[in-house]
Amino acid sequence: MEITTSKWLQKHIPDWKRKSYLVAISGGVDSVVLCQLFHKLGIKYQLAHCNFQLRGDESDGDEVFITHLANSINTQLHTIKFETDQYASYEKLSTQEAARKLRYNWFETLRTENNLDYIVVGTHKSDEVETLLINQIRGAGLRGLHGILPVKGQVVRPLLSSTREQILEYAQTIGLGWREDSSNSSEKYMRNKIRHQIIPVLKEIRENVETQFSTNAEAIRDYQQVLENEILRLKPTLMSQEKHYWKINKSVLSELKPAYLYLYELILEFGFSYDTCRDVIASLRNQPGALFYGKHATLTNDREYLIVDPTTEKTDTVTLIEESTKEINTPIKLSFELLNIADFTLSKNQNTATLDFDKLDFPLTLRKWKDGDRFQPFGMKGVKKVSDFLIDNKVPRNEKSSVYVLESKEEIVWVVGYRISDRFKVDTNAKRVYLLELIDF
């Protein structure tokens, strides 16, 4: 069994001989074969190995094996140890998700630091079939059925045209050594159950089932491209950006069939599911006001539009404003200036706040407003809930979640972009003025 990469590279990477590569190597047969193939090509490449410290001495043995391999072929090797379990717990990820995130982030860092063009991984055709079945079981949409992309950004997968059996046969034929990962035999992982229990049965039904899956996945990728082209054509008619949020025209959307699929493609980047998009379309016939949640945004069914408001900041995030602070750019852009009263001119712009500097205690804190917040709006004698203030000022529902408050010793001095507190206003006794401006709002 002969496996070559030159034809694959010629097809997918223009001028591939002049490019440079970071080859990921775990020590398993797939990555060792990949390393051998790139070494045979005589092109510029380096190796990268992650020790996830999940299998004790076995993980360390992998690293030792790969170090010897790299030395034997005189190739530069990068290695790193990750506290994978600790990271997974902190980020609330599964072990596999954590390992994937850690390694690809590190690969990209290495690629840029070493001026390399591509990251090469040993994903093969059998991996693709397992992924397709996993996605089908989990209920993935069209994108979950189009298989693993041969090239995605700077990541390339030259072994996608070869099965696990073909790679193993090639390695045995030329006498390569490799490491066996004991976790690959564990039945506690869905992928392994599919690999050891389901794929063999499918092969009994049809011997070349892996090739058929791969061919179908490629056809689905082509259908996906047609859909993406259609969405790109319609997007200017359907969707527009207003300030920090997006508006989707309900009347235009409702004329499209199936509307939920068009909506899904429009707001995919915000993490909304197929089921949520179906629920949104069903709500179009009901009273406006329903809220729907994606991973990165909130969608409001307003009167004429669906409002998609990206979630860019955790509600409990607090930014400190020191006396010396001149400007901040996140989570919102604000400028700060101290003036003598003689240099002060009152501005009626609601994006500008003028406060009595000597009434403030630093550091000030900037955060999103929350239920129960109260302040004394400028011009009023009594205290008012921020929630009631926003209602009285007809702040749209989708914009309320993006309102910030500035505090001094846990007392609100400014509902940013709307009203200062009367207690901190500049009066006849003021000597110094603190001028704040909300920029690019």
The radius of gyration computed from the CA coordinates of the chain, to the nearest angstrom, equals: 29
Position 5 confidence tier, pLDDT thresholds 50, 70, 90 = confident
Examine the domain organization and report whether 192 and 78 are in the same domain.
yes
Q: Among 262, 157, 265, 257, which Cα is nearest to 214's? A: 157
Pair (180, 48) in one structural domain? yes
Q: Are residues 78 and 184 in the same domain?
A: yes
d(CA 233, CA 144): 23
What's the pLDDT at 367? 92
Distance of alpha carbon 289 from the chain centroid: 28
Pair (41, 159) in one structural domain: yes
340 lies in the same domain as 378: yes
Note whether residue 364 is domain-resident: yes
The 10 Å CB-count burial string (b at 16+, else e) for 195-206 is beeebeebeeee
Same domain, 278 and 135: no
- Least confident stretch, 16-25, 86-95, 246-255: 86-95
Q: What is the mean pLDDT of residues 90-105?
A: 90
* C-beta atoms surrounding 30 within 10 Å: 24
Q: Which of 255, 283, 310 is the last residue of a domain?
A: 310
Per-position b or e across 336-366, b if 16+ CB within 10 A of its CB: beeeeeeeeeeeeeeeebbbbbebbeebbbb
- pLDDT tier for residue 311 given thresholds of 50, 70 and 90: low
Residues 209-229 have a mean pLDDT of: 89
The answer on pLDDT for 420 being more than 90 is yes
**Which of 38-42, 169-173, 311-315 comes out lowest in average pLDDT?**
311-315
255 and 142 inside one domain: no
Count of structural domains, the chain: 3
**What is the domain range of residue 339?**
319-438
Question: Do both 12 and 82 map to the same domain?
Answer: yes
- In the listed set 277, 310, 343, which residue is the last one of a domain according to the structure? 310
Say if 237 falls within a structural domain.
Answer: no
Helices 259-267 and 274-283 meet at what angle, rounded to 10? Answer: 120
Q: How many CA atoms lie within 13 A of 189 on its CB side?
A: 15
Q: Residues 268, 153: one domain?
A: no
Of the listed ranges 16-20, 100-104, 152-156, 289-293, the least confidently predicted one is 289-293
Give the per-residue pLDDT at 74: 95
Q: What sections of 324-416 are H helices per DSSP? A: 386-392, 397-400
CATH number reported for the structural domain that contains residue 393 in this entry = 3.50.40.10
216-220, 345-349, 390-394: least confident range: 345-349
What's 100's domain CATH number?
A: 3.40.50.620
Residue 235 lies in a domain: no
Task: Let me know whether 87 and 12 are in one domain.
Answer: yes
Percent of the chain with pLDDT over 70: 97
Q: Give pLDDT tens digits for 294-310.
A: 888 889 898 899 999 88
pLDDT per residue as tens digits for the range 155-193:
999 999 899 999 999 999 999 999 988 777 777 778 889
> Does pLDDT of 1 surpass 60?
no
Joined together, the tokens standing for residue 88 give 């997974």
Among 302, 256, 293, residue whose Cα is nearest residue 398 = 302
- % of the chain beyond a pLDDT of 90: 55
Higher-pLDDT residue of 315, 88: 88
Tens-place pLDDT, residues 314-360: 556 788 999 889 989 878 889 999 988 887 777 777 789 999 999 99
Q: Give the domain-ending residue among 261, 283, 310.
A: 310
Instruction: Answer yes or no: is 61 within a domain.
Output: yes
* Number of Cβ atoms within 10 Å of the Cβ of 218: 12
Burial of 125 (0-12, 13-18, 19+ CB in 10 A): buried
369 and 345 both lie in a single domain: yes
Q: Does one domain contain both 92 and 115? A: yes
Q: Measured in whole angstroms, how far is the alpha carbon of residue 1 from the centre of its chain?
A: 40
